[in-house]
Amino acid sequence: MPAGKVSVVGIGPGLPDHMTAKAREALEKSDVVIGYKLYVEQVKNLLSQQEIIASSMGKEVERCLLAIDKAGNGKKVALVSGGDPGIYGMSGLLLQLAGEKNPSLEVEIIPGVTAAGAAAALLGAPLMHDFAVISLSDLLTPWELIEKRLEAAAYADYVIVLYNPRSRGRSDLLSRAREIVLKHRQSETPVGIVRGAGRNNQKQWETTLEELTVLIEAVDMASLVIIGNSHTYWDGCKMITPRGYQV
């Protein structure tokens, strides 16, 4: 039997033109493609003979176990993960489960463009200085810990990137995060919002911490919020965090 392998493939934030050549190659050379249905849909045009197994959100453990099982039977499996698989993606879970179920299995992690990079590029250059990435999803992390990290990042004047700014059924997370950050930052601090970066429905907004309340309803699960540090400014519609060069 040929040796199987799982490639955890970061497919980038949206359309295939944001994907790396290596990710594309791994998909094309795979026997089986496994992933969340939205992500599988995004890469469908690149596939030909592969067996495709798409499942819903919340089935991450099942997807990893299936990938390990198929690869254990000699298949080349591409486990797709949106953005970068190592940033709130599938690679950690896959490695944890592979270590338990089949420690000798070959696993390859293929990085992808993370939503923060894609959104920052659309907004301008907001991540030019130290930044903290915080997920507001309290499905796997207690809200008290999320609050603690928000507080620390805001206090330390990091640019703050908020992933999962709106959990399913929890619309108040972003408002609560805004209140915590406002304890340490001016109300005119720039805030950029990008929905669906690199996708057909891509949209972006330029605002401030003060005005964010007006836009909270526009923020959904496919959005990313970037809060500037005390030096970040809007130059027209470009969000810029200076690195410190004399200009």
- Residues of this chain that interact with ligand SAM (CB under 6 A) are 13-14, 81-84, 87-89, 114-115, 119, 163-165, 194, 196-199, 221-224
Q: Is 206 helix (H, G, I), strand (E, B) or coil?
A: strand
CB of 34 to ligand SAM, least distance (A): 16
Nearer to ligand SAM (CB atom), residue 163 or residue 205: 163
CB of 221 to ligand SAM, least distance (A): 5
The H or E element spanning position 188 is: none
Q: How far apart (Å, rounded) are the C-alpha atoms in residues 201 and 199?
A: 5
Which whole-number Å values give the CA distances from 237 to 39, 145, 179, 205, in the listed order?
A: 30, 33, 24, 9
Q: Let me know: does 234 contact 206? Beta carbons within 8 Å.
A: yes
Q: What's the one-letter identity of residue 167?
A: S
Q: How far apart (Å, rounded) are the C-alpha atoms in residues 245 and 196?
A: 32
CB of 81 to ligand SAM, least distance (A): 6
Q: How far apart (Å, rounded) are the C-alpha atoms in residues 149 and 133?
A: 10
Nearer to ligand SAM (CB atom), residue 88 or residue 234: 88
Nearer to ligand SAM (CB atom), residue 53 or residue 224: 224
Residue 57: count of CB within 10 angstroms of its CB: 10
Q: How far apart (Å, rounded) are the C-alpha atoms in residues 145 and 211?
A: 26
Six-digit token string for 61:
């453990």
Q: How far apart (Å, rounded) are the C-alpha atoms in residues 225 and 155?
A: 18
Nearer to ligand SAM (CB atom), residue 156 or residue 221: 221
CB of 207 to ligand SAM, least distance (A): 16
Nearer to ligand SAM (CB atom), residue 13 or residue 35: 13
Burial bucket for residue 48 (CB in 10 Å: 0-12, 13-18, 19+): exposed
CB of 127 to ligand SAM, least distance (A): 13
Residue nearest to ligand SAM (CB): 83
CB of 119 to ligand SAM, least distance (A): 5
CB of 84 to ligand SAM, least distance (A): 4
* Count of CA atoms in the C-beta half-sphere (13 A) of 184: 18
Nearer to ligand SAM (CB atom), residue 31 or residue 174: 174
Nearer to ligand SAM (CB atom), residue 72 or residue 113: 113
